[in-house]
A and B are shown apart, each in its own frame.
Chain A
Amino acid sequence: AQSVTQPDIHITVSEGASLELRCNYSYGATPYLFWYVQSPGQGLQLLLKYFSGDTLVQGIKGFEAEFKRSQSSFNLRKPSVHWSDAAEYFCAVGAHPGGSYIPTFGRGTSLIVHP
């Protein structure tokens, strides 16, 4: 079965600093990978997705993520964090194991931004 691990429950950075949120997945084939962001009291918004091709994916709001097959990772990065980036971030894998669609989300990483 597929799984997603986000090893960091909380990450604290200073505004203007760089950011990397970690995501590791487990799946038998090349998965579809996503990063979503959730602000308090809101639904999830898609930041970026990876299906195939170039392993460095650009998303909205200045985020990017890199797919590394050898490490089963899909880490999210941003070169300079803004206070408005404070939110919950979820990594997800979408796949069709056995013909049924079962998407799996990680438990999330809470980003705290200090001024």
Chain B
Amino acid sequence: ETGVTQSPTHLIKTRGQQVTLRCSSQSGHNTVSWYQQALGQGPQFIFQYYREEENGRGNFPPRFSGLQFPNYSSELNVNALELDDSALYLCASSLVSSGGAAQYFGPGTRLTVL
């Protein structure tokens, strides 16, 4: 069984640029969630995708967008990067989209915005 993988591991961008982060869900999982984890903080929910549709969104602006593909892999896109976007971005997959579903996390992508 393959776990959740994310790419790239690290990324450095400059303010105003755009970035795409990628995630491959654990085998058999149809739901993926994205989180932003600033240094010293807990993960903050960005959004969730279930069967290629957005299924919930946290308090993040529209410049944070996502996609989920038929094979349940996923992308997080961030436009017009700001310095405060520097964080660890975590992807998590789960079997179902309910609030009680256990989530399996990838190792994250460390984004630095200069």
Residues of A within 8 A of B (CB): 4, 31-32, 34, 36, 41-46, 49, 51, 90, 92, 94-96, 100-108
Task: Report which of A43, A103, A108 forms a contact with B33, defined as CB distance below 8 A.
Answer: A103
Q: Can you name 27 A-B residue pairings with CB atoms under 8 Å?
A: A31-B99, A42-B108, A43-B4, A43-B105, A43-B108, A44-B43, A44-B92, A44-B103, A46-B102, A46-B103, A46-B104, A49-B100, A92-B42, A95-B99, A100-B55, A100-B57, A101-B48, A101-B56, A101-B98, A101-B99, A103-B99, A105-B35, A105-B44, A105-B45, A107-B40, A107-B41, A108-B42
- What chain B residues lie within 8 Å of A105 (beta carbons)? 35, 42-45
- What chain A residues lie within 8 Å of B92 (beta carbons)? 43-44
Size of interface on B: residues with Cβ below 8 Å to A: 28
Task: Report which of A46, A90, A94 forms a contact with B42, defined as CB distance below 8 A.
Answer: A90
Smallest Cβ distance from A9 to chain B, in angstroms?
Answer: 9
B42 touches A42 (CB 8 A): no
Residues of B within 8 A of A (CB): 4, 33, 35, 40-45, 48, 55-58, 90, 92, 97-108
Return the chain B residue nearest A103 by Cβ. B45
